[in-house]
């Protein structure tokens, strides 16, 4: 007679299936951490009801995946207020596009002249833990106007890069996996201090 334990072990899906992919794990982690970041929002920002926070968290799932390199150049991120811009970008040159080096890397992208969103479109920003020790990301939440502008601009730009500029420098160039809505995460090799300076400096009128 077979024992239940043996049949259970033989049937165990954990033994027979692949583990979740790294992308699935990251998506999950991002949603979880972003949910936590809502509780960390500075008191100067209106706290959302719990339900809205959860909905916002779910919206994060469909957002950008950032595979960026970060610039940490000569204290330029140390300003109290930073100029934040998001622009559409291309990998190939074209008339009207401006070539910009990505951080301290060798990569060059070609950014569009139009600014999609700027500091004025940000509702709040929070430093969240990244995917490695001592690495931090920034969870950016756009206001309604900013979210609409991002949705419209990114809907026809899937699979292409988007440039995130801090004080005029391209610090991250995520490739759009899906249209960006109300939230986005800027990931990269931020130190905690840099991430905090950027997050704090984003709020308010564009400098």
Partner 1 sequence: MNGLPFAAALPATLPHSAAERLAVLFDAHHERLYRLARRLVPTADDALDLIQETFLKAARAPRAIPSGFADEEAWLVRVLVNIRRDQWRKAAVRRRYHDEMRPSLVTGSDPEAALVARSAMWSALDVLPPRRRAIVVMHELQGLTMSDIASVLGITAITVRWHLSRGRRELARILKPYVGVTDDTD
Contacts with partner 1, residue ranges (CB under 8 A): 1-5, 7-14, 16-17, 19-20, 24-25, 28-29, 31-40, 50, 53-54, 57, 126-129, 139
Cβ closest to partner 1, residue 20 vs residue 207: 20
Cβ closest to partner 1, residue 127 vs residue 166: 127
Burial of 143 (0-12, 13-18, 19+ CB in 10 A): middle
The CA distances from residue 38 to 56, 57, 140, in Å, are 9, 9, 11
In the complex, minimum distance from the CB of residue 139 to partner 1, in angstroms, rounded to a whole number: 8
Burial of 65 (0-12, 13-18, 19+ CB in 10 A): middle
In the complex, minimum distance from the CB of residue 27 to partner 1, in angstroms, rounded to a whole number: 9
Contact 202/195 with Cβ under 8 angstroms? no
In the complex, minimum distance from the CB of residue 163 to partner 1, in angstroms, rounded to a whole number: 26
Task: Indicate the length of the chain as a whole number.
Answer: 207
Cβ closest to partner 1, residue 37 vs residue 154: 37
Tokens, residue 96: 């009207």
Cβ closest to partner 1, residue 61 vs residue 158: 61
């Amino acid at each position: 007679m077979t024992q239940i334990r043996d049949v259970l072990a033989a049937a165990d899906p954990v033994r027979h299936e692949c583990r979740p992919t790294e992308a699935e794990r990251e998506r999950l982690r991002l949603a979880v951490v972003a949910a936590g970041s809502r509780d960390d929002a500075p008191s100067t920002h209106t706290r959302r009801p719990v339900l809205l926070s959860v909905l916002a968290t779910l919206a994060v799932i469909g957002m950008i995946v950032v595979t960026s390199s970060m610039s940490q150049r000569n204290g330029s991120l140390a300003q109290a207020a930073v100029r934040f811009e998001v622009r559409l970008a291309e990998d190939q040159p074209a008339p009207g596009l401006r070539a910009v080096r990505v951080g301290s890397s060798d990569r060059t992208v070609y950014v569009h002249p139009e600014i999609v969103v700027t500091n004025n479109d940000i509702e709040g920003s929070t430093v969240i833990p990244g995917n490695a020790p001592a690495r931090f990301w920034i969870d950016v939440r756009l206001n309604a106007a900013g979210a609409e502008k991002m949705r419209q601009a990114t809907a026809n730009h899937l699979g292409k890069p988007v440039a995130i500029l801090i004080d005029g420098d391209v610090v991250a160039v995520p490739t759009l996996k899906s249209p960006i809505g109300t939230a986005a995460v800027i990931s990269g090799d931020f130190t905690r201090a840099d991430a905090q300076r950027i997050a704090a400096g984003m709020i308010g009128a564009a400098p």
